[in-house]
């Protein structure tokens, strides 16, 4: 496809990336790819197998058994089963950063992510999209918010989905995950040099979406010029 648009949205846990990315993709009528969901699905499989998520080689040995599919309608399938709700369980959230720090697992999932992006325009959200997965992205957003704001947002989201948790446990989980995600050796969480920082601490979802669309429209003008 000529003039394809690749929009990368990276940032720490619960900064509102997926909510915003979904809305932006809908507005632009292009595909949304949630890469965090893929690490979560892998983690769920590890847990279902009764393997310790901190046992790297045992987790990596499962790679050939894991088939992950993101449906265009948003559902996440693990070996043919819809696990969209299960992967949001706080038990999965608490372990996923270990799985996401294993290089062989990252390489397998990055392969899939690049394949999914293929020859189409996409909005992809994650931690390393602008730095590693799709460094050729036309637009790179690094979306942040204070940890307190992120904890309140994730806590309220969990409650609305009927997921039991406390505000303290959510904040603790976010701090823990951010630490592991940004300190791993391979493709850690960090802004790309050419990324645009958006601090959403005091912005509504709609404001963030509009800001990104503005950036896209300016850039698309250039892409099509």
Residues forming contacts to ligand DC in the complex (CB under 6 A) are 13, 35-36, 39-40, 96-97, 100, 126-129, 177, 181
Q: What is residue 132's three-state secondary structure?
A: helix
Query: In this complex, which beta carbon is closest to ligand DC, that of residue 77 or of residue 220?
Result: 77
- For the bound state, the minimum distance from the C-beta of residue 129 to ligand DC, rounded and expressed in Å, comes to 6
Kindly state the smallest distance separating residue 213's Cβ from ligand DC, in Å.
21
Q: Please name which of 52, 15, 44, 3 lies closest in space to residue 127, comparing C-alpha atoms.
A: 15
Cα-to-chain-centroid distance, residue 215: 20
- Comparing CB distances to ligand DC, the nearer of 3 and 185 is 185
Q: Which is nearer to ligand DC, 28 or 105 (CB)?
A: 105
Q: Angle at the Cα of 198 (from 142 to 166), degrees rounded to 5?
A: 85
What SS3 state is found at 115? helix
Render 44-67 in DSSP notation, one character per residue: HHHHHTT--TT-HHHHHTTGGG--
Q: Which of residues 128 and 171 has its CB atom nearest to ligand DC in the complex?
A: 128
Residue entry with tokens 């979306």: 143
Choose between 121 and 178: whose C-beta lies nearer to ligand DC: 178
Nearer to ligand DC, 140 or 177 (CB): 177
| Collapsed DSSP state (helix, strand, coil) of residue 14 | coil
**Nearest distance in Å: CB 82, ligand DC:** 17
CB of 80 to ligand DC, least distance (A): 21
Run of H or E residues at 141: strand 139-144
Task: Calculate the CA 83 to chain-centre distance.
Answer: 16
Minimum CB separation of residue 25 from ligand DC in Å reads 15
Residue with tokens 């769920």: 44
Q: Residue 222 Cβ, how far from ligand DC at the closest point, in Å? A: 26
């Amino acid at each position: 496809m000529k003039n394809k648009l690749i929009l990368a949205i990276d940032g720490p846990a619960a900064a509102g990336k997926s909510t915003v990315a979904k809305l932006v993709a809908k507005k632009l009528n292009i595909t949304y790819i949630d890469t965090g969901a893929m690490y979560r699905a892998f983690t769920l499989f590890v847990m279902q197998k009764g393997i310790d998520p901190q046992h790297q080689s045992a987790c990596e040995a499962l790679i050939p058994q894991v088939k992950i599919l993101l449906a265009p309608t948003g559902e996440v399938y693990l070996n043919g089963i819809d696990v969209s709700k299960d992967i949001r369980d706080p038990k999965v959230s608490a372990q996923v950063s270990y799985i996401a720090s294993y290089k062989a697992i990252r390489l397998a999932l990055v392969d899939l992510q690049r394949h999914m992006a293929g020859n189409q325009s996409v909005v992809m959200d994650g931690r390393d999209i602008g730095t590693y997965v799709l460094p050729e992205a036309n637009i790179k957003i690094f979306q942040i918010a204070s940890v307190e704001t992120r904890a309140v947002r994730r806590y309220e989201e969990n409650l609305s989905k009927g997921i039991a948790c406390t505000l303290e446990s959510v904040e603790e989980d976010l701090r823990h995950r951010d630490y592991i995600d940004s300190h791993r050796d391979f493709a850690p969480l960090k802004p790309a040099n050419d990324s645009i920082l958006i601090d959403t601490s005091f912005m509504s979802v709609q404001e963030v979406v509009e800001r990104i669309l503005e950036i896209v429209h300016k850039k698309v003008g250039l892409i099509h010029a």
